[in-house]
Amino acid sequence: MPKQRKPRPSKSPRSQSLRIALKISSKFSRVSIDSLGKTLAARLGATAPFTLLPLIESVDEKRLAELVSRARQADPEGEISDFSEWFQLVVPEGASPEELEKALRRIEMIEVAYVMRPGPPPVVNPANDPRSMNQGYLDAAPNGIDARYAWGFLGGDGSGADFVDMEQGWNLNHEDLTAAGITLMSGVSHLFFEHGTSVLGEVRMSDNTLGGVGIAPSSSGRVISQWRTAASYNTADAIVSAAAGMSFGDILLLEAQEYDPVGGQYYWPVEIVDANYAAIRLATALGIVVVEAGCNGGYDLDPYVNLAGKRIFDRTSSDFRDSGAIMVGAGSSAAPHSRMSFSNYGNRIDCYAWGQSIDTTSTNSTGTDNAAYTTGFGGTSGASPIIVGAGLIVQGIAQNAPGYRFGPRVLRKILTTNGTASANPAVDRIGVMPDLRAIITGSEINLAPDLFVRDYVGDVGNPTSGMVSQSPDIIVIAPGVADPQGSFGEGSGTENNASLSADVDAANGDHTVYVRLRNRGGSPGLGVTADVYWSPPSTLVTPNLWTAIGTTAPVDVPTGNALTVPPGLNWPAASLPAPGHYCFVAIAGNAADPKLGLATLTSFTQYLTLIQNNNNVAWRNFDVIPLPPSAPPPSQTMGFFIAGAFDTSRRFSLETVGRLPEGSKVVLEVPGWLADSLKPHPHLFEKNPKTDGWRIPLNPTGVQRLGDLTLHAKSLAKCELRVRLPKIKEADGFEFGIRQLYLQSEVGGITWRFVGRRKR
């Protein structure tokens, strides 16, 4: 939709008989249509009665009553018009529509009057499709909506989903549209054939060897014209007529703009006029998803005040009226996407998409060129079909898998909460561009595989900071088992056994590492592998500390959280680390649920984002024996590192979390430089003359804040934790952990688990 100068209302061709939409006061609603025509003519001094018709004339009275009744039952709190008080007045020959409109508004019985003036539209295998490479709006976020990813799912091509495009004209014989079988519901294909043809191409271009490919090429499509006849233009009637032939979850695209009844300017959303709003409200109450072009006036919608003095587009105002439609703005084609200068904006705009450089079908001004294409379609006219395509994909996937469709308000929420923000949201104010990958993998649909390795027994797959180094799904034994699925998988009886793993002992030769996997997603994980590393134990186990062991063989992980075990990974004796305390790291994934992008990491903050947003990485402490001499029982000494970030010096905080029995004693020994940073209470610290380290007594229970300190890039502070447990009546598990915080958020840590001695 390129920007156009805002025109004055143009004179209509003589073939067009302009009409004025009227809404009369409810206390006059029993007046017959003929009597009303005579009354209005008499009040205005006309020599002949005015010709009046019902505003909604394409749907018969009985069918309209049925639609209204259904809508009110579905949305009992909504204000659903029955249109019995709405009429259209045919402007007499020679009369000025504008003057007649003003005169009608002065009559007490008339609540609403506006000219229904036609105008321009809102301006304007995939590899086999030669133009597909130009369709960047199909690409992954942040560039596009990631339709190409969605095509990999059943229904992701829009199959089973339906939409209707409402505007003024199309070329349905275009070479890349004929296979789509698009039909005209009602009205006349009359004007602006290039515009309608480009809109349809974005959504429905066939997946063939011609042109490009539509966002939802397998959806069903129809069109309906605002030109009800060649001489009658009625947007509200077209909307209601379309709704009468549509089903729950179908999508109605409104490719139109309106004049402002207050100021007369063009390029406003169609719901600015009351009859169109009532028609849209009826459609959404019936469960029809309406996508409405936000239009190209460059207006801030928030402060707009209508004839009744109400701020109808401002969601923060008590006057706001929500039609239920998804209103669309236009952004630049290049990421980060900025609002196009011509796009209307404000808190009423829900979504945006490309408003320029759209590659799609086209035709000539007479609608007879069947092989034309364009690389320059745009505006909110070009953005709106992209949102429709995203909606059709969501409906197609939902219908083909769970077996349902989303209603208009739910689909609006899905599209507006899973997307790419514009370059400057506070200034652009055009919402987000839907991200189909985020939607498909998110909680609303959850159809992609969602692979995870548990951090602890009871973990259901929610991402964690990685500080719980107790994964029951990382198992090391020597030499291995013949049937890992039978020994460790679903139904083995060992699903929740966290003690399957053994100490690593070079005397036993080669070892085998197993990584158990679950899939809480909506489709099987095919060809899943797990990368396994070992690392020295550290409060911050970043990739610079990892040493690769290897990658497991591919395995298919079914849906339903069934514990699946890939073939074991051989760990040769010659590759084992020296005796001591260590940590395993396992990262699982496949093409549909990728592993962490470690190769692309350039900063610590990127690493944190990956860890905190993914559930397919887990950690487990382990020992390589024989261990170095330690304190005599019942004391246990654990060596570990307090580590800095891998990119630059950063400020961290340290805390301990204890759950040890009464009578326990815990001492932390740290290097002198670290003690200098931590000791807010010097009298609590004790120097170890043998090591020059400093001993800090710790609380065995609860949370204890050790303090704040700056850790330099890749620094490693070698520390020891000594724990003495009392005798207890029964063997039990106890824990003690040290966690590291950055900007008040936990970013890593170590948790040790202890088994008490039985008291005899």
pLDDT digits (tens, 9 = 90+) for 595-635: 876 666 778 887 887 777 678 888 888 888 875 554 445 67
Tokens of 627: 């261990």
How far is 216 from 208, CA to CA, in rounded Å?
Answer: 13
Cα torsion angle, 340, 341, 346, 348, sign: negative
- Angle (CA) 425-427-433 rounded to 5° is 35
What residues form DSSP beta bridges with 734?
Answer: 754
Radius of gyration of the chain, Cα coordinates, nearest whole angstrom = 34
Selection from 460, 455, 456, 499 nearest residue 476 by Cα: 499
Tell me the average pLDDT across 652-669. Answer: 92
Q: Cβ atoms within 10 A of the Cβ of 145, count?
A: 30
Tell me the average pLDDT across 143-162. Answer: 92
Residue 393: predicted pLDDT: 96
DSSP secondary structure string, 547-606?
EEEEEPPPEEE-SS---B-PPPEEE-GGGPPPSEEEEEEEEEE-SSSPPP-GGG--SHHH
Q: Using the 8-state DSSP alphabet, how is residue 432 labeled?
A: E
- Angle at which helices 274-285 and 235-244 cross, to 10°: 10
* pLDDT cut 90: percent of the chain above it: 62
Tell me the average pLDDT across 260-281. Answer: 93
Given a cut of 50, whether residue 2 has pLDDT beyond it is no
Burial class (CB within 10 angstroms; exposed 0-12, middle 13-18, buried 19+) of 154:
middle
Cα torsion angle, 328, 332, 337, 339, sign: negative
Given a cut of 70, whether residue 186 has pLDDT beyond it is yes
Residue 200: predicted pLDDT: 97
Given a cut of 50, whether residue 658 has pLDDT beyond it is yes
Look at residue 739 and give its three-state secondary structure: strand
- Angle (CA) 126-128-133 rounded to 5° is 60
pLDDT tens profile 513-555: 999 999 988 778 899 999 999 999 888 888 889 999 999 999 9
Q: Using the 8-state DSSP alphabet, how is residue 134 labeled?
A: G
Look at residue 393 and give its three-state secondary structure: helix
Selection from 329, 256, 326, 273 nearest residue 298 by Cα: 329
**For residue 616, how far is the Cα from the chain centroid?**
20
Given a cut of 50, whether residue 75 has pLDDT beyond it is yes
- Angle (CA) 334-337-340 rounded to 5° is 100
Tell me the average pLDDT across 334-346. Answer: 96
Given a cut of 60, whether residue 57 has pLDDT beyond it is yes
AA identity, residue 363:
T
Tell me the average pLDDT across 314-322. Answer: 95
How far is 52 from 61, CA to CA, in rounded Å?
Answer: 16
How far is 124 from 118, CA to CA, in rounded Å?
Answer: 16
Pick the CATH number of 635-755 from 2.60.40, 3.40.1350, 1.10.1740, 2.170.130: 2.60.40
Instruction: Specify whether the CB–CB gap between 510 and 570 falls below 8 A.
Output: yes
CA distances from 561 to 91, 291, 442, 454, 524 (A): 68, 37, 17, 11, 10
Instruction: Specify whether the CB–CB gap between 122 and 361 falls below 8 A.
Output: no
- Angle (CA) 116-119-123 rounded to 5° is 135
Instruction: Specify whether the CB–CB gap between 520 and 561 falls below 8 A.
Output: yes
Tokens of 573: 């004796």
How far is 336 from 314, CA to CA, in rounded Å?
Answer: 26
DSSP secondary structure string, 470-530?
B-TTEEEESS--S-HHHHHSTTSS-TT-TT----EEGGG-SEEEEE-BEE-SSS-EEEEEE
Given a cut of 90, whether residue 20 has pLDDT beyond it is yes
Given a cut of 50, whether residue 30 has pLDDT beyond it is yes
Residue 628: predicted pLDDT: 53
How far is 539 from 29, CA to CA, in rounded Å?
Answer: 76
How far is 632 from 668, CA to CA, in rounded Å?
Answer: 17
Residue 432: predicted pLDDT: 97
Residue 408: predicted pLDDT: 92
Q: What is the mean pLDDT of the chain?
A: 88
AA identity, residue 217:
P
How far is 150 from 389, CA to CA, in rounded Å?
Answer: 11
DSSP secondary structure string, 23-75?
EE-GGGTTS-HHHHHHHHHHHTT-SSPPEEEES--SS-HHHHHHHHHHHHHH-
Instruction: Specify whether the CB–CB gap between 751 and 468 falls below 8 A.
Output: yes
- Angle (CA) 404-245-320 rounded to 5° is 75
Within a 13 Å sphere around the CA of 504, how many CA atoms are in the beta-carbon half? 26
Assigned CATH topology for domain 19-116:
Alpha-Beta Plaits (3.30.70)
Given a cut of 50, whether residue 126 has pLDDT beyond it is no
Residue 282: predicted pLDDT: 95
Given a cut of 90, whether residue 3 has pLDDT beyond it is no
Given a cut of 70, whether residue 7 has pLDDT beyond it is no
* Domains 19-116 and 635-755 equal at CATH topology level: no
Given a cut of 60, whether residue 21 has pLDDT beyond it is yes
The H or E element that residue 721 is part of is strand 716-724
Q: Cβ atoms within 10 A of the Cβ of 712, count?
A: 10
Which residues does 18 contact at the CB level (< 8 Å), separation at least 6? Answer: 12, 91, 97, 115, 116, 117
How far is 346 from 335, CA to CA, in rounded Å?
Answer: 21
Selection from 439, 412, 437 nearest residue 146 by Cα: 437
How far is 161 from 153, CA to CA, in rounded Å?
Answer: 14
AA identity, residue 293:
A
**Per-residue exposure over 91-111, b if at least 16 CB sit within 10 Å of its own CB, e if not:** beeeeebeebbebbeebebbb
Burial class (CB within 10 angstroms; exposed 0-12, middle 13-18, buried 19+) of 493:
exposed
Instruction: Specify whether the CB–CB gap between 473 and 454 falls below 8 A.
Output: yes
Given a cut of 80, whether residue 252 has pLDDT beyond it is yes
The H or E element that residue 358 is part of is strand 358-362
pLDDT tens profile 276-301: 999 999 999 999 999 999 999 999 99
Instruction: Specify whether the CB–CB gap between 214 and 220 falls below 8 A.
Output: no
Tokens of 192: 């602006």
pLDDT band with cut points at 50, 70 and 90 for residue 12: very low
Largest CA distance in the chain: 115
Residue 758: predicted pLDDT: 43
pLDDT band with cut points at 50, 70 and 90 for residue 637: confident
| Phi–psi pair at 288, nearest 5 degrees | -90, 130
Tokens of 502: 């053994």
Q: Where are the domains of the chain?
A: 19-116, 126-441, 451-625, 635-755
How far is 669 from 691, CA to CA, in rounded Å?
Answer: 10
pLDDT band with cut points at 50, 70 and 90 for residue 687: confident
* Class of CATH domain 126-441: alpha beta
Residue 205: predicted pLDDT: 93
Q: Cβ atoms within 10 A of the Cβ of 185, count?
A: 18
Q: Which residue stretches of 190-246 are H helix? A: 193-204, 235-244
How far is 377 from 627, CA to CA, in rounded Å?
Answer: 70
Q: Of the ranges 2-6, 633-637, 687-691, which one carries the lowest mean pLDDT score?
A: 2-6
Cα torsion angle, 11, 12, 18, 20, sign: negative
Tell me the average pLDDT across 738-750. Answer: 86
Given a cut of 70, whether residue 270 has pLDDT beyond it is yes
Pick the CATH number of 451-625 from 3.40.50.300, 2.60.40.10, 3.40.50.10140, 2.30.40.10: 2.60.40.10
How far is 459 from 469, CA to CA, in rounded Å?
Answer: 12
How far is 320 from 689, CA to CA, in rounded Å?
Answer: 74
Selection from 97, 138, 141, 133 nearest residue 118 by Cα: 97
Selection from 432, 492, 454, 487 nearest residue 586 by Cα: 454
The H or E element that residue 388 is part of is helix 379-400
Rounded to two decimals, the pTM is 0.67
Selection from 211, 239, 216, 209 nearest residue 226 by Cα: 239
Tell me the average pLDDT across 405-416. Answer: 92
Residue 726: predicted pLDDT: 86
